[in-house]
Structure 1
Amino acid sequence: MGSHSKLPEELLTLLKEGERLRSQYYRGRFAPSPSGPLHLGNLRTALVSWLRARLRGGEWLLRIDDLDTPRNRSGALESIQKDLSWLGLNWDGPIILQSKRRKLYESVLLALKQQGKLYPCRCSRRLLGNRNGLNDGDGSNIYPGTCRELGLPWDATDGRLPSLRLRVGKKFSNTSGDVLVRRADGFIAYHLASVSDELFLGINEVVRGEDLAKALTSQLAVIDALKQKPIAFLHTPLFLGTDGIKLSKRQGGEAAMSTHAEFMNAENLIGFLAATLDLVPQGSELSALELLSELRNNQGSIDTVLTA
């Protein structure tokens, strides 16, 4: 397959617009999946991300990562909006649904394929685990390149599509391996959709949980494949439960659904979340705007809780 030096004009126009937005002012985002109610860890990450945007006089977008439709839960989107509004974490512009942007991601896939940067892969997670002790489903392990030079067919075989992987450059081969960009079930993979949105929406800083730090090199590899400049990725510390285990929607679902009942008011919850990061003393009660006002006098305090 021949290689082309340029992306299609339509994608180049969108990328240039994203670059223009990034160069003008701060643009951040919060991007939960509607697979259940937000738990305390999600809410704390949202708070930090919102504070970063507001301290810099920038914009804060709300994107819903709802591509993985089997995992979506009825009422989750409404619950997310309700919790953020209750806390006073207002977002800018309309809510962005990834499910409405599938054609855009497909265009990126097609462009990368036409440039010879993709190849079909028939490796399942179970197969990779059995052969190599690896599972790259979350971006934390390195794909060994099993199917890279096999020249497998792009179409479905025995009723099953291949997954698609990105051939990464040498500087990423030992850190991310070839990145999964479309799953075998036909769903656009997390790395491709997320990176496409950061670039096209003009996001210049992503604040997310530390558990996603392992996805960083894979996403930087996708940015590199699209010949774009890297953006900043910062990570908040994990929010651990009383048992020392990371909260997840599965573990923290019940607590998340009773968040309003557990805390007397939004000010109580904002104070609790901020105190877990040593931004305010324990027992503080203040609104998101009051916290923002306090941090304007000490902007460096929020930087100390984030890692690249």
Structure 2
Amino acid sequence: MTPSIQPRTYDTPKPRRVAFLGLGVMGYPMAGHLARAGHQVTVYNRTHARAEAWREEFNAQAEGGHPAHTPREAVQEADIIFSCVGNDNDLRSVVLGPEGAFAGMRAGAIFVDHTTASAAVARELYDAARERGLQFLDAPVSGGQAGAQGGQLTVMCGGDAAAFEQVRPVALAFARAVTHVGESGAGQLAKMVNQVCVAGVLQGLSEALAFGMRAGLDMPQVLEVIGQGAAQSWQMDHRGPTMLQGQFDFGFAVDWMRKDLGLVLDEARRNGARMPVTALVDQFYADVQESGGARWDTSSLITRLLPPQPS
């Protein structure tokens, strides 16, 4: 079984009281890095057993942190609250309402959302936080499950610069880069740019590998050669070999990418951006879903371009 987090060293600021809401494949290791960096961490998860499992694993580092039964309970003593949930509605469910985080946060506390969500919900919650004397940052991440486990995520933050400066040294427990990219909503927009780039690169890589395979080339050798030139990319280095081997049972799921590209296309309709390639690749991912690959890694785009494998 893969460990939930990988060993790393921490340049730890003064320990803070923090909460983490949402212990999925990303949130679980992110919260773990915060605990191992010396912060007092209180966690909440919709499935409480998951929170209990986290507490058991990180008991020695959590300094008295405990699983809470509601977001409101989890955040009451926290200076900074982190969240990583599924979508806009999941985010609203942990933030708003009588048992939501905003109901329990004390004045001046900072809510940092790592969910990949819409820029609209980020602005909505930023305004709601300001009305309550709270602070809100939209801070989606790039790096996937491996980046979360290794504490090597890239974080794109939108919101007030003063709040960002307080959060940045704490977030470096699970990230290699934490950058303020603009006002509220800008973090989510930057993540959309990231996903457009990833989707386009993966479609191009899929076509290139399928072409080379049909041409009878030694594709591992070709990848090694072109990986030293202008075509090199993270996707080529880390997904090219597994694409050639037909391995897709890992990584960032097609379902998640379709959710993210849906956010991109919705935003493009609002701002007038033309996204013909992104819209096409989104439909290609729909093909992969229909063929049974909803939970396959996003590199599974190549399966559309190759003959079916014998069963």
- Which TM bucket (shorter chain)? under 0.3
Greater relative contact order structure (CA < 8 Å, 6+ sep): 1
Normalising by structure 1, report the TM-score: 0.28
